[in-house]
Amino acid sequence: MRRELIVAALALAAGAAQADCTVVFGQARNPRLLGGPNWDDINKRFNMAVADTLQAGGLNTRPMSASSADTDVQAVGRTLLKQADKLGCSALVETTVFADEQGTLVLRLRAYPLLPLIGAGGTVEGLRIGEQRFVTQRDLPPAALLRMDSDALAAQMAAEYLQRERR
């Protein structure tokens, strides 16, 4: 019982120490095809616009992105969590822009808490991603990619998240 209380106290202390940092992570899902859009650049721009809006809204953001060529999802996740832990972050905002199987252009923002990962010995061994707590998404026709203002959409979606967080 005492050991469980100590572990819980450590977890709370770790969460309190991390409370002022949000990782804004984006990754392209679609590879660049000859003559097609550069999905890595589109995602980086969207990610930075979300991070900038959240920063202007009072969050201490740390933008990160991965290329569509980074296909080892587990390795990308481990790197993300290791960096978030090093920075002392307690939240993750995931951003992405992609074309789905039907060709629909999808812009998505999801938010998750970053929680202490308690190891077998009862010690904190890093971070884990908690349950999704917010999602907003825009589904657009493929032709919208040529004329959309991704910065404005990113700012709008990030503002929706900020509004929800302030409730």
What is the rounded average pLDDT for all residues in the chain? 88
Residue 2 has pLDDT above 90, yes or no: no
pLDDT of 86 above 60: yes
- pLDDT of 14 reads 45
pLDDT digits (tens, 9 = 90+) for 96-138: 999 999 999 999 999 999 999 888 888 888 899 999 999 999 9
Q: Per-residue pLDDT averaged across 47-67, rounded?
A: 96
What is the domain class of 2-165 according to CATH? Answer: alpha beta
- Quick one: pLDDT at residue 120? 82
- pLDDT recorded at residue 36: 86
Quick check: pTM over 0.75? yes
Q: Which of 165, 125, 134, 129 is nearest to 14 (CA)?
A: 125
Confidence (pLDDT) at 134? 97
pLDDT of residue 83: 95
The percent of residues above 90 in pLDDT, for the chain, comes to: 71
Question: What integer pLDDT is reported at residue 118 of this predicted model?
Answer: 86
Domain residues of the chain, as ranges? 2-165
What integer is the mean pLDDT of 51-68? 96
Q: In this predicted structure, what is the pLDDT of residue 31?
A: 87
The stretch 82-89 carries a mean pLDDT of 95
